[in-house]
Structure 1
Amino acid sequence: MRGHIILSHGSDSGPDATKVSVLAALAESLGWSTTRPDYREDDALGHAGSIDPRLARLGAAIAASPVPPVLVGSSMGAFVSGLASVDTPVAGLFLLALPARIPGYARPFAAREGVPTFMIHGYRDEVCPVDEAIAFARKAAIPALLLDDDHRLGATLPTIETQFRAFLAGLSGEPA
């Protein structure tokens, strides 16, 4: 096993959502173990109300990980992955369709400094403003890829897979 990856789905989605399923399959094909927490029960509490329960669920998954995990998140999953990294050591962050803030939640998005991080966002994201995501990436000096896609990033999934493969190779010290 190369390491462990925890993939967090977005709101109004589930652990079998397209992006997290495709990325989990890719990671497993490369020798990584994966976990996909189910946040659907938490999401019934609304966007702001779901964050703390999601953080608790993600924290339990991190604690159960055999090694500091790589956190992968889409939308709300990206938001909680970053916040969890501030509180717990992780091996990396791969963030998709990142909301830089959640209305009604006091804590803005944050991520642990010094952790290998990569962000992908769609120019046409109608849910999470691209300018806010870019501003976070600029402030945190993390690499970001902006794609001609909407919030779901469905049209660019092959590009996301390529970037994820390269990200994991970088963490493993291998050529992409």
Structure 2
Amino acid sequence: MQKLVIYNHGKDSIPWGEKTLQFADVAKHYGYAFESPDYREQLDPDKRAGQLLAMDLSGYDEIVLIGSSMGAYVATVASASIKPKGLFLLAPAFYLPGYRQTEFKPTAEEIRVFHGWRDDIVPPENAWRFCQSYRVRLNLYDTDHRMLSVMPQLSDEFSRFLAGLKGQAI
């Protein structure tokens, strides 16, 4: 069984930053291949979703999408077509000016959302609105938009998330 995790970075981030590397280590531990597309040339979130959808994913039986900020929007929009097993969203850039979609079809067996109370880029209320609308679990942390101060906790959460997809307890 071929399994893949795709990390979708945020607007001003890079494809292989600190968060990406930590999530890649967790994914590899569970037997997943790991990709992180480079979206830096494309500032339009919906065109980034198109870039994700253009990837050849035909060789994979199971896909998990991670998204941070704009990348969470991209992963959520693309999930309607990709139908991943899991959707793991960090400080999702939902309901912001310039983002075309305000109604989503988040499609995955498991969805988790993580947000910082002190996020001054995307208000935590936006994550709550999404989670309330789609009955998704919301995890709030005392951190800012980048969430780097809680990476150990997020890595643990991702490990539990992947273990749960496999039906394993850790």
TM-score with structure 1 length normalisation? 0.89
Instruction: State the SS of the aligned residue for 2:149.
Output: coil
Choose which of 162, 168, 175 in structure 1 pairs with 2:169: 175
Instruction: State the SS of the aligned residue for 1:157.
Output: helix
Which residue matches 2:30?
30
Which residue matches 1:47?
none
Instruction: State the SS of the aligned residue for 2:55.
Output: helix
- Distance in 1 between residues matched to 2:158 and 2:166, nearest whole Å: 12
Identity rate of aligned residues, in percent? 35
- Distance in 2 between residues matched to 1:172 and 1:133, nearest whole Å: 26
- Distance in 2 between residues matched to 1:109 and 1:146, nearest whole Å: 22
Choose which of 51, 65, 69 in structure 1 pairs with 2:63: 69
Contact 1:124–1:151 (Cα < 8 Å) also in 2: yes
Gaps of 5+ in 2: none
Gaps of 5+ in 1: 44-49
Q: Bigger shift: 20-29 or 118-127?
A: 20-29
TM-score with structure 2 length normalisation? 0.92
- Distance in 1 between residues matched to 2:108 and 2:161, nearest whole Å: 15
Q: Give the 5 Å matches for 1:133-152.
A: 133-152=127-146
Which residue matches 1:99?
93
- Residue-pair matches, total: 170
Q: CA deviation at 1:20?
A: 1.7
Q: CA deviation at 1:119?
A: 0.6
Contact 2:49–2:74 (Cα < 8 Å) also in 1: yes
Which residue matches 1:7?
7
Q: CA deviation at 1:68?
A: 3.9
1:127-160: per-residue Cα shift (whole Å, max 9, x none)?
Answer: 0110111111122111111000000001110000
Contact 1:3–1:67 (Cα < 8 Å) also in 2: yes
Structure (1 or 2) with the greater helix fraction: 1
Please, what is the CA RMSD of the aligned residues? 1.7
Contact 1:5–1:69 (Cα < 8 Å) also in 2: yes
